[in-house]
Amino acid sequence: MTWERRLLQAVVALLCLIPLSTASVGILRGAEWLAHDVVRADLDSHFRYLSGVFLGLALGFASCIPAIERQGARFRLLGMMVVIGGLAREWSLIEVGPPSTGHLVGLCVELGAVPLVLLWQASLQRRWRG
């Protein structure tokens, strides 16, 4: 079970690299790095705020890694936030149309990989206690 714990820690660490990098770019560069037109101040402000929230989520997940087998409640809360964001992104896909490839990859992570990792962590936590 120790090898599984280490593998889960490694997977979560790798997944954290995505929001850590994109959120940091979003904070530093604003919405301009995605938009090719003029970006309004309100859109840029909101985009940087959400990038900060995204960075906070990534740091929250990263904080679970050292004792991942005991972090179920925090892990589920953070995961729920990611899944809700993925559902909002899916709504955008339906209402507005498909975004760029990077955002489609994000959608797959949010509604695919994250729920699977949540189930994996819960399974590990149950077995670790027993």
What is the chain's pLDDT, residue by residue, as a tens digit (130 residues)? 799 999 999 999 999 999 999 889 888 888 777 766 667 888 888 888 999 999 999 999 999 999 999 999 999 999 999 999 999 999 999 999 999 998 999 999 999 999 999 999 999 999 998 7
Give residues with Cβ within 8 angstroms of 52, minimum separation 6.
23, 27
Do residues 52 and 27 lie in contact, with contact meaning Cβ atoms separated by under 8 Å?
yes
What confidence score (pLDDT) does residue 1 get?
A: 74
pTM: 0.84
What is the phi-psi region of residue 35: left when phi exceeds 0, alpha when psi lies from -120 to 50, beta otherwise? beta
